[in-house]
Chain A
């Protein structure tokens, strides 16, 4: 870990020499331990230490971005000069006014030294415990367990000085049987809070319960989507619907529908970078404080997430959702929440006369018709048939093809409990989702296992 003072000293020292009118530096420094396992042994085990520093140089309305992985003074100076030269040869961006100004950030506890110091041997020890449990049941284990430490800093010549140290720990476990599998996962900034025993037990039970799966005919079914499955859908809504550009260009399901009903009254989806139930992060990669943004409020279409340039174009304020400076103005919800209600998974199962329980999806794609949030994907690692309020067997996996506007208009029950789901951006956020019972969910195909 380099530390706030040293990072500010280095970056401010470089920015002082900038020939540009305005300059920004974004620092990302990470150390992580990545342990992957399959067939009940560790087959990939890695330690990574890397640094990335972005410079955004501004001349009038012309912007140049350069990044480097080197902390050497000469390399940093060269990168900054390169950013300036690109800006000088750039075209003007009419939507740019100025880099953000000095801001105040909410204090957020996001770093746990126990996570940062977790060793390869400690990770192996936790994983072996899962191997031992599975072996007793004649099952095998696959998955991944990582612990990481990240420092994010944003400094600019308009007075922004933002720094946040973050840690993350996540484990996902797939228990494999002869013809079935079960999945569970855990995620926290504090590795001590991950319940390895429970994760192993849940995945094991799903594997055992879905053994010898039966084939059912595709069609419309009442479906219970567990949090991982809901999060996979929300992730695609995020790609195609929650960003400012998608809203503006008219391809988002929220476009031109502000205040109009797009989902059921029991559905609210929002971004909150400060909610401790997720993985909080108080500012974005321009140093703008995170603001809560509501995408869907009680079924009504809401807003999108903005950085400063998109906000200028739309005549609104940045919501604190800029990505790194090389992201070509794309914005993204990094801390997405689906509001819970007051039900439980067991009550949903008991109230289902005939239906399907889905643990997770595989390879969801939301590009089919983005205005309808039409998506497709496969079930995976624990798909069950429910009859007369009870899980009666595992079933072979199914393909869904469904408009999520229609599906989320037919949600009958939502759980109180929500789970923070690991994503590829879990150093700086996650998706927090409940379990949902949806009626008439369209399964359009099937596979052979």
Chain B
């Protein structure tokens, strides 16, 4: 196979393209869904194919196929050139790529226990027992437990001489219980909503979650929410849990710092960004305790890899330092526009998609103290826990999040539970209200396997490290 790929690179050079790369991707996914004690989904998927990206006459072209053979590689190479030449008829400036070292390397994520080697009955047993434990109350109408595993093998070759091979193993899962009353339905999830938690790890990650140790609390909280009073509408101090902070970072810091959005090339679906170029190094994004990095090297992060899909080595770079906006997520094409080098954020969700600028692990750095300390330090406020709904405008300014549950805080203690909590704000205004971030002991890197972007929609695996954090003067409970 390597010989076929190298031959195709030689062929593309003979065709005198400006640049070309080939990604050959082989992905295996196993997915298990148990609902109410019944295995409703148990499937295994093999996906293999290649995509060729070409710059010809200054325009971009891409073509892909799931048939892997020398004639098909040549056919697809020619198609990519044809597509690039069509693009070239509309350009004002030829595509220019920033320089990158043409690495020849192999990378693999660590994995202690291969999840594909774990007997199926062991996985089913945990998931079935989890839903059975969750369902032991008459108000619980739906219980769900799930696991998903991915094993991805990639080759990347370019006309510049790169030859990179990577093996990425990803594992994760979670569960939820839905209680239904006369007029509403309430759900609690573990360890997070959005299909649980995920990591570049093996089955050891599932074992560490200890599903069965958390079912009773999740079940009882879902039931209790039915009778809980609604969250009031007012301006308040809120403490946001680590998992919801991860989504807050995702929507209001991760997406707006994608340089392709800033430059307008995602307008047609995802939108643009308020972080226009003159704000780099100047915007007071948040309070001085807010520090955010993109870190594709973070151990266990779902956005961890060796090289991105342009062959750029994984990096850790600042996004926000001491509250000041200091960096974008970039690619080889976009970085030179801000006189920079790519920080390695280009990824595609399969062989048949164009790489886009995607979040890697966008991490809010930890502060100090424990969650218990932070609650004890709060005279009056609310604790918001685990995401339920999410929405943000197309420049990433006005956001509104709903969470599964909130608790009142008075005199430093958690009090009664509240249902249907919502909070809303404007991104920089909100981050400037952050007056405390918990320390390392509360910090967790949350894997999110479903970040959507692009047309056709691509789903990226990203992660966000975060600790619980406190914000003052936040508008809560805005639903009518």
Are these two chains actual partners, yes or no? yes
Q: Distance in Å from the Cβ of A411 to the closest Cβ of chain B? A: 18
Pair B352/A48 contact, Cβ less than 8 Å: yes
Pair B42/A90 contact, Cβ less than 8 Å: yes
Pair A39/B44 contact, Cβ less than 8 Å: no
Chain B residues near A69 (CB-CB < 8 A): 46-49, 66
For A362-392 the 0/1 string (1 means CB < 8 A from B) is 1111111111101011101000000000000
B92 within 8 A of A: yes
Residue of A83, A255, A328 with highest tally of chain B CB at under 10 A: A328
Pair B35/A329 contact, Cβ less than 8 Å: yes
| B-side interface size class | 35 or more
For A27-55 the 0/1 string (1 means CB < 8 A from B) is 00000111111111111111111111000
Q: Name the CB-closest residue of A to B395.
A: A449
A259 within 8 A of B: no
Q: Name the CB-closest residue of B to A448.
A: B397
For B52-91 the 0/1 string (1 means CB < 8 A from A) is 0000000111111111000000001001101111110111
Which A114-159 residues have C-beta < 8 A from chain B? 119-121, 123-124, 127-128, 131, 140, 142-144, 146
The answer, among A46, A142, A424, for a CB contact under 8 Å with B457, is A424
Docked complex Cα distance between A245 and B180 (Å): 14
Chain B residues near A75 (CB-CB < 8 A): 46
Q: Distance in Å from the Cβ of B349 to the closest Cβ of chain A? A: 12
A71 within 8 A of B: yes
Pair B479/A444 contact, Cβ less than 8 Å: yes
Interface majority SS on A: helix, strand, loop or mixed?
Answer: strand
Which one of A60-68, A209-217, A269-277 contacts B?
A: A60-68
Chain B residues near A377 (CB-CB < 8 A): 391
Pair A42/B91 contact, Cβ less than 8 Å: yes
Which one of B263-271, B282-290, B435-443 contacts A?
A: B263-271
Q: Name the CB-closest residue of A to B30.
A: A86
Docked complex Cα distance between A51 and B45 (Å): 12
Q: A47-B62, A370-B185 are known contacts. Are A401 and B41 too (CB-CB below 8 A)?
A: no
Docked complex Cα distance between A363 and B270 (Å): 9
Chain B residues near A444 (CB-CB < 8 A): 400, 424, 478-480
Pair A174/B46 contact, Cβ less than 8 Å: no
Q: Distance in Å from the Cβ of B448 to the closest Cβ of chain A? A: 16
Pair A131/B90 contact, Cβ less than 8 Å: yes
For B110-123 the 0/1 string (1 means CB < 8 A from A) is 00000000011100
Chain A residues near B79 (CB-CB < 8 A): 47
Q: A326-B45, A378-B393, A447-B397 are known contacts. Are A50 and B63 too (CB-CB below 8 A)?
A: no
A3 within 8 A of B: no
Pair A448/B264 contact, Cβ less than 8 Å: no
Docked complex Cα distance between A83 and B46 (Å): 12
The answer, among B38, B46, B267, for a CB contact under 8 Å with A91, is B38
Pair B89/A142 contact, Cβ less than 8 Å: no
A350 within 8 A of B: no
B238 within 8 A of A: no
B141 within 8 A of A: yes
B136 within 8 A of A: no
The answer, among B39, B90, B269, for a CB contact under 8 Å with A144, is B269
A residues near B (Cβ < 8 Å) are 32-52, 63-71, 75, 79, 82-83, 86, 89-91, 93-95, 119-121, 123-124, 127-128, 131, 140, 142-144, 146, 172, 174, 176, 181, 245, 249-251, 255, 309, 325-329, 362-372, 374, 376-378, 380, 397, 399, 401-403, 424, 442, 444-449
B residues near A (Cβ < 8 Å) are 31, 33, 35, 38-49, 59-67, 76, 79-80, 82-87, 89-92, 119-121, 124, 128, 141-142, 178, 180, 183-185, 263-269, 271, 274, 352-354, 388-395, 397-398, 400, 402, 420, 422, 424, 426, 455-457, 478-480
A-B contact pairs, 19 of them (CB 8 A): A33-B83, A44-B354, A65-B41, A66-B45, A68-B45, A79-B46, A86-B42, A93-B40, A119-B86, A146-B456, A176-B264, A249-B142, A326-B31, A366-B389, A376-B389, A401-B400, A401-B478, A442-B480, A449-B397
